Amino acid sequence: MADDKDVLRDVWFGRIPACFTLSPEETTEREAEPYYLLLPRVSYLTLVTDKVKKHFLRVMKTEDVEEMWFEYEGTPLKWHYPIGVLFDLHASNTALPWNVTVHFKNFPERDLLHCSSNSVIEAHFMSCIKEADALKHKSQVINDMQKKDHKQLWMGLQNDKFDQFWAMNRKLMEYPTEEGGFRYIPFRIYQTTSDRPFIQKLFRPVSPEGHTLTLGDLLKELFPAAICAEDEPKRFQVMIHGIEPLLETPIQWLSEHLSHPDNFLHISIIPAPSD
Amino acid sequence: MPSSLLWAVDVYGRVYSLSTAGQQWEHCRDAHLEFKRVTAVQQCCWSIACDHNIYLYVHASEVPIRYQEETYENQRWNPVDGFSDRLLPSDRWQWSDITGLKHQPLGDFQLPSENWEWEADWYIDENFGGEPTEKGGWTYAIDFPATYTKDKKWNSCVRRRRWIRYRRYKAQDTWVKIPSEQTESLPDPFNDITCGGWEITEEPRGCLALWAVSLQGKVRTQFFIQSCRGSVWEEVPVPGEVVQISCGPGDLVWAVLWEGHLLVREGVGRDCLKGSSWVTVESPSPGVGVVHVAVGVNVVWAVTKDHKVWFRRGVNSHNPCGSGWIGMVGEMVMINVGLSDQVWAIGFEDRAVYFRQGVTASELSGKAWKVVSVPRDSERSHSSASASSLQSAGCFFGGEVRLQSQASMLSDADAETERAGGEVVPTPEIGDAPKPRIPKVTSDSFISELVSDREGQISRRDVPPAGPSIPEEDHPEKELEDRASPAQVLSPSQSGGVDPQWSNVDLEEAQTHLTSGPGGDAAETSSLSSVATYNLALEEPYGLDEPPKWAWVSGGGCLVECHTQLNWFNSSTSTALNSSMQAMSLSITPAQTAAWRKQIFEQLSERSKREMENFMHYEQAIEQSVWVKKGTMQWWRDWKPHKWVDVQFALEQFSGVEGNKDGILFIYYTFNDEKKYLHMFINEVTILVPVLNDSKHTFAIYTAERTKQRWPMRLAAATELEMHDWLALLSVSCCDSRGIQGPPSKQAIWSVTCKGDIFVSEPTKELEASPYPTPCAQMFWRQVGGHLRIIESNSLGVVWGIGYDHTAWVHTGGYGGGFFQGLASSTDNIYTQTDVKSVYIYENQRWNPVTGYTNRGLPTDRYMWSNASGLKECTKNNTKPPSPNWTWVSDWTIDYAVPGGTDREGWQYAADFPASYHGNKTLKDFVRRRRWARKCKLTTTGPWQEVPPIPLSDITILPCGPKSTVEQVSLWAISNKGDILCRLDTSQTPGSSWLHVGTDQPFKSISIGAVHQVWAIAKDGSAFYRGSVSAQNPAGDCWYHIPSPTGQKLKQVSVGRTSVYTVDENGNLWYRHGVTPSYPQGSSWEHISNNVRKVSVGPLDQVWVIADKVQGSHSLSCGTVCRRLGVLPMEPKGHSWDYGIGGGWDHITVRGNAMEAPRIVMPSLTDNQTATRPLQTSNQPEMNGNPVGC
């Protein structure tokens, strides 16, 4: 059987084919061709769309250009969620490529954060990692790292360097054997049906009795509706990186192998397709 | 870690054992008697039964306990009869021992007891000091006693020959009564027994000392060279009446006097196992005598009459009395110290077995008592059915314990009613020591009292201030309450079991309170709290938990180390550990775990296909770029004067044209104020070697060119961690650039350095091409975690290793481990590996006429404390373990097992330094030296799993062809005592157990060839061929003695497809001539080369050696990997050497590489050759051979 490390690679090298089209509301000098790109699932929209911006700017006047933002079927896409999460949440079970509309005007202030430069993404990314390590190791590991180590994590993500990133990230994934896992699992549960941005609570990988807790245990506690009885039709899909792991999967294993580079396990819960 | 046993006796005298790998007490059913004492060592267990006789239980082992009986047949020549048994009246007996003084005809030999059996009939020993003798085994001399030779000379007037016969101990895995030889008029049976002392002598598991106390308080002792073959009891005078005695693995012997004082035996040593005198040590608390003492290697524990536990400070072999007592927490009735000074005890209140947690070499007193709570096997049977239905591995263990509680109540209640009258063991009482508080009541209330007691202690931890204030009057009611609602009492017992991590202070507090009465509402509090956390409905059906009550425990055979995983404690930590193990190693419920794992693998690849397959022509969002890692290091300058200079070190990695990764190493240095750099391409690096020493964290980088020049690039990192980070990164980078990933292939060539580091290389087809193979300097080696001395493999991927401590390891199929973490290592087949080796230093002295031998040498002499060469000063204090990864595990001891022998104090004498040393002092000697040894231990990780139980010194695996479909692979091995062993493994699983192959003498090297030719080298340097070994008869039938090359003692052998090569002790490599299918023993030895340390012959008859003194090498000259060039089917000897990586290499195996070279050269000829030389073992014993046994 394949090794657990192959999972890390598969997760890292997950790509979503996307077709960027300029919103018809934008004024252009000539017709804008759509732009096709393979987006890394684990990265952030604004981090990997320089080429998209360049492409559309060629057909636009400088004065018509404000901050670029993206929208899918009327929903503005939050750049600070990993690309894979946005796709799973809004567009899974649809035909590929993913049709993303590009806007340069009417920035939806209520829905999106501004992203003036990559340093904003970096700050967001690092704060996620720090938060995750606070949950996992009381921040001990991340605080022991040097500035250059933090930089290595970020550069790894920015330049799509799996080895560079994991050379450092593995330290964040360690835990004392006798404890059987992290202190708490850093996870976020997203859903389309609610106004809450996401669910996040303290959850340990091992029960007080010493049992290994599973994805099912997590959902039972935080989103019981996602678990359906055997005879019921499935109401929700529980997606992580575009796949639906079995509910028996230990949550600790998921956290170690299916977390995004920000060290969070992002779980999308979407209504099951009706057919 | 092989499992070992903890022995215990319960209050009814039943003996149980608990395996370190197990989770239940196994009843020793064989014993129809009740026992009162047990004392265990690893290979056996002694006990005193209620009939006051001593019984012995020897564990069955794959290597039988054998004893060689020998006698000599003597003859004298006379002109009439020639040689005949008519001797002169002044001569010795016709049948005698070796000295000739004792008459011993064959018929006089009797089996010592019914527990022995003869292995075969008497036969003549035809091996004379490693040389085969003429038929008949006679050796000749001028007269008795004299020097014997194997050749008859004109003046040989007498001759003798040796007859040998083996007897074997057969009473294994059963209790055997040891007949007592009562000499006194009044019987004085034994009351206590203890076993130890095996570490005093250097022989592996050497002499056992048995000390016993009689009912009248007398001490007797006897000593065993091999278990089961003892001397006689010898009385040791004592100044008083002894009630109990304890002896440790080393030289500690302590005894308890009737009055409560302690006796310490002084003068116990290698030459005087019995010791010389007793010294009295006062009881720790005045007025309260000691009732029990237990000693280990460096510790002494005692229990006083008030059940307090004491630890003796400052005990070691120089100061067996120690320096002072420290009071410990806990109330115990007895205490026992096992291997590695681990401590077990039996609690006073609950009669449970406790394990002292956290005992390490640096913290001998440990941290806390932890109750061993596992069910007994009789109880387990009740619950097995329901237990197996529990699916979740996480709750498996907890569930088991709960289930047993009901059963235990049932069975014990029965037992108690049955035995109510007799009541326990008639314990011969120890003075006025408090009788063990054995329950006189059998009702539930007592049981619940016990339970609630324990709960009280534990829960007190949570509410310490509340505890002591509980009014005592509460407790009768409480008892009633308990009786009324047993279920309520039960639940706390669950919660109590969860986490009995008592901190020292709290326990003391709890204990003082508890002696005044069982904790009243404490139980209530805890039951409340447990109600809150546990599902009561689930607990209820299982009823009351009655823990077994123990009387005696012995951990003398039980090996527990800090990394050992014990499943004896049903606490949250251990179960959490279990579950994490489960998640990591998938060992507990593979099927179930595999389901979710498989699902993830499948879905991920499905996802990649769905989302990427049709879109690969899309542009990537992130362009690949160069990645650089920089650091500072020190570099050993390439030119003179060589020195360490500070450099900037950078690894630049980039994707090559075809997507494969590559990189360049840069070293930036300053020379004459000028900034310069040198670089090295990652794809040219052939090996990265860590050169850990105590002063610097250095490693060496080789390329093919640098291997040829024997001049690696040497770098030093600031810290060990930094070095390991760099090594792991560089290693991944090198593997990436060569497209190597994952585990080693089945064909891999393995090697081991003299530091025990393991390297593996993937052979290419061109490696064995002829006539122009890839030079072996170009081979790429990558490191694999672990520490081994020997490694052997075959082409089916069976790989075994042997550690310095003789532990056998099998390759799990993984890679990485050690400092390779994360990506450079597999995750699910890496295990902890330990190794122990000795560090040696020499004490040197010179004789002068005034003071004799002193440590004042001549100014020109070597250091008075030095290494073997005398060039480096090595004192006891400044000598460090080989690297920071090693820690000392023993003290410095004199090493008597030095080649050349020593005198009684370990000295070896010589005329001057350096010279050859001998063990006895002569007039010509002016200097002497002795060797000191100290053991150190390494704990690391690697893709290796231990194969218990027999420690090995050599191993060989049947080599197979490239497309072999052999299902079972023969393995032959030599145990550390020199026994030959054989087994059949399948390529997937190391399955079966060892089969012992009888020999007359200890062996040291063995090798099996492709058609089951087995060759072996005995410790005396002679070679043997095993006849009739085949797939059908894997153990063969007899040994043929093959004469060694003249005047040489052989050291090692390796057999390939047809070739047989040996190495002798002087470094000569020999090829066996004339080996044919019908005559597999061959005819003569041909000298091939000198300066060879080891040879490995592959399945294609490739010859690889580890050579010394390779040309062009500098300080690391010894131990270079070399390959024989020009080896062809018709020219198996080859013609010259090709030099590879080195020095510092110790072992290589090419026996996995069965990849035929590309057949460009003379394909037809090669084919013909192999076709015309099919080698099959003949099943007929050869006439010219020398069968010496069967």
Question: Which of A202, A245, A198 shows the shortest CA–CA distance to A221?
Answer: A202
Whether B961 has a pLDDT exceeding 90, the answer reads no
> Strand A75-76 relative to strand A98-103: parallel, antiparallel, unpaired?
unpaired
Q: What is the mean pLDDT of residues B1102-1124?
A: 78
Are B577 and A242 inside 8 Å of each other by CB?
A: no
Question: Which of B447, B406, B409, B412 shows the shortest CA–CA distance to B541?
Answer: B406
Are A208 and B610 inside 8 Å of each other by CB?
A: no
Q: In what order do the strands lie in the sheet with B242-247?
A: B242-247, B253-257, B262-266, B277-281
Name the CA dihedral angle for A191, A195, A196, A198, rounded to a multiple of 10 degrees.
Answer: 30
For chain B, the residue count is 1190
Whether A185 has a pLDDT exceeding 90, the answer reads yes
Round the average pLDDT of chain B to a whole number and report it. 76
Using the CB atoms, write b or e for B1157-1180: b if 16+ within 10 Å: beeeeeeeebeeeeeeeebebeee
Q: What is the mean pLDDT of residues B110-124?
A: 85
Which residue reads 């008030």 in tokens? B306
d(CA A154, CA B659): 23
d(CA B192, CA B242): 10
> Can you give the pLDDT at residue B264?
92
> Can you give the pLDDT at residue B748?
93
Are B579 and A180 inside 8 Å of each other by CB?
A: yes
Instruction: Give the H or E element holding residue B491.
Output: helix B486-498
Are B742 and A3 inside 8 Å of each other by CB?
A: yes
Please give the span between the terminal C-alpha atoms of chain A, in angstroms, as a whole number. Answer: 34
Q: Enter the DSSP assignment of B969.
A: E
Positive or negative torsion for Cα B604, B610, B614, B618: negative
**Structure confidence at residue B758 as a pLDDT band (50, 70, 90):** very high
The SS3 of residue A137 is helix
Q: What is the mean pLDDT of residues B191-201?
A: 83
For residue B428, what are the CA distances in angstroms to B49, B195, B216, B432, B533? 11, 20, 11, 11, 47
> Strand A35-40 relative to strand B619-620: parallel, antiparallel, unpaired?
parallel
Are B823 and A212 inside 8 Å of each other by CB?
A: no
d(CA B279, CA B389): 59
Are B580 and A14 inside 8 Å of each other by CB?
A: no
- Residue B608 has its nearest CB partner, among A10, A161, A207, at A10
* B904-913: pLDDT as tens digits: 888 988 888 7
Question: What are the E-state strand segments in B1077-1186?
Answer: 1084-1089, 1092-1097, 1103-1107, 1120-1125, 1136-1142, 1145-1149
**Structure confidence at residue B360 as a pLDDT band (50, 70, 90):** confident
* B485-508: pLDDT as tens digits: 443 333 333 433 333 333 333 333
* B426-444: pLDDT as tens digits: 334 334 434 444 333 333 3
- Residue B622 has its nearest CB partner, among A10, A160, A180, at A160
Burial (CB count <10 Å: 0-12, 13-18, 19+), residue B230: middle
**Structure confidence at residue A50 as a pLDDT band (50, 70, 90):** confident
> Can you give the pLDDT at residue B759?
95
- Residue A5 has its nearest CB partner, among B594, B725, B827, at B827
- Percent over 70 (pLDDT), chain B: 75
The β-bridge partners of A117 are none
Q: Enter the DSSP assignment of A53.
A: H
- Residue A179 has its nearest CB partner, among B576, B600, B653, at B576
d(CA B745, CA B815): 11
ipTM (interface predicted TM): 0.91
B621 touches A39 (CB < 8 A) = yes
**Structure confidence at residue B597 as a pLDDT band (50, 70, 90):** confident
Q: Which amino acid is at A39?
A: L
> Can you give the pLDDT at residue B501?
38
Closest CA–CA distance from residue A166 to any residue of chain B (Å): 8
Question: Which of B1037, B1076, B1082 shows the shortest CA–CA distance to B1062?
Answer: B1082
Question: Per mean pLDDT, which of B323-327, B466-470, B1172-1176 is the most reliable?
Answer: B323-327
d(CA A112, CA A105): 13
Q: Give the least confident one: A59-63, A228-232, B61-65, B1071-1075.
A: A228-232
> Can you give the pLDDT at residue A188?
93
d(CA B136, CA B125): 8
Closest CA–CA distance from residue A184 to any residue of chain B (Å): 14
* B446-463: pLDDT as tens digits: 333 333 344 444 334 443
Whether A258 has a pLDDT exceeding 80, the answer reads yes
The SS3 of residue B568 is coil
String of DSSP letters for A170-215: HHHT---GGGTS-SS--EEEEESSSSSS-B-----SB-TTSPBPBH
> Can you give the pLDDT at residue B309?
92
Are A252 and B583 inside 8 Å of each other by CB?
A: yes
Q: What is the mean pLDDT of residues B940-950?
A: 88
Q: Which residues of A touch B398 (CB under 8 A)?
A: 209-211
Closest CA–CA distance from residue A237 to any residue of chain B (Å): 14
Which residue reads 């003789």 in tokens? B806
Whether B532 has a pLDDT exceeding 70, the answer reads no
Interface test with B, best of A253, A256, A257, A267 (most B CBs within 10 A): A253
Q: Which residues of A touch B615 (CB under 8 A)?
A: 15, 17, 36, 38, 96-97
> Can you give the pLDDT at residue B773?
83
d(CA A30, CA A129): 43
> Can you give the pLDDT at residue B225?
58
B890 touches B931 (CB < 8 A) = no
**Chain A, chain B: beta-carbon pairs less than 8 Å apart:** 176
H helix and E strand count, chain B: 13, 72
Closest CA–CA distance from residue A28 to any residue of chain B (Å): 24
Residue in chain B nearest A248 by alpha carbon: B596
B781 touches B759 (CB < 8 A) = yes
* B775-803: pLDDT as tens digits: 888 999 999 999 999 999 988 888 999 99
Q: What's the whole-model pTM score?
A: 0.69
**Structure confidence at residue A262 as a pLDDT band (50, 70, 90):** very high
The β-bridge partners of B688 are B701
Are B603 and A244 inside 8 Å of each other by CB?
A: yes
Q: Which residues of B touch A6 (CB under 8 A)?
A: 601
Which residue reads 């003695």 in tokens? B1041
- For residue B590, cis peptide bond before it (omega within 30 degrees of 0): no
B97 touches B73 (CB < 8 A) = no
Closest CA–CA distance from residue A159 to any residue of chain B (Å): 6
**Structure confidence at residue A86 as a pLDDT band (50, 70, 90):** very high
Q: What is the mean pLDDT of residues B235-252?
A: 88
Question: Which of B886, B784, B762 shows the shortest CA–CA distance to B831?
Answer: B784
B413 touches B379 (CB < 8 A) = no
* B135-160: pLDDT as tens digits: 788 888 888 777 888 888 888 888 88
Q: Which residues of A touch B565 (CB under 8 A)?
A: none
Cα–Cα–Cα angle for B915, B916, B919, rounded to 5 degrees: 125
> Can you give the pLDDT at residue A264?
94
* Cα B732 from chain centre: 32
Whether B387 has a pLDDT exceeding 50, the answer reads no
Closest CA–CA distance from residue B357 to any residue of chain A (Å): 14
**Structure confidence at residue A101 as a pLDDT band (50, 70, 90):** very high
B1079 touches B1106 (CB < 8 A) = no
B1107: its two tokens:
């050579």
d(CA B724, CA B750): 21
Are B605 and A10 inside 8 Å of each other by CB?
A: yes
> Can you give the pLDDT at residue B382?
44
Whether B69 has a pLDDT exceeding 70, the answer reads yes
Query: H/E/C letters for each residue in B787-828?
Result: CCCEEEECCCCCEEEECCCCCEEEECCCCCECCECHHHCCCC
Q: What is the mean pLDDT of residues B893-912?
A: 84
Which residue reads 């000599």 in tokens? B72
* B538-589: pLDDT as tens digits: 333 333 456 678 889 998 888 887 666 677 775 433 333 333 333 333 333 4
* B1053-1074: pLDDT as tens digits: 999 988 999 999 989 999 999 8
Are B607 and A17 inside 8 Å of each other by CB?
A: no
String of DSSP letters for B362-380: S-TT-SEEEE----BHHHH
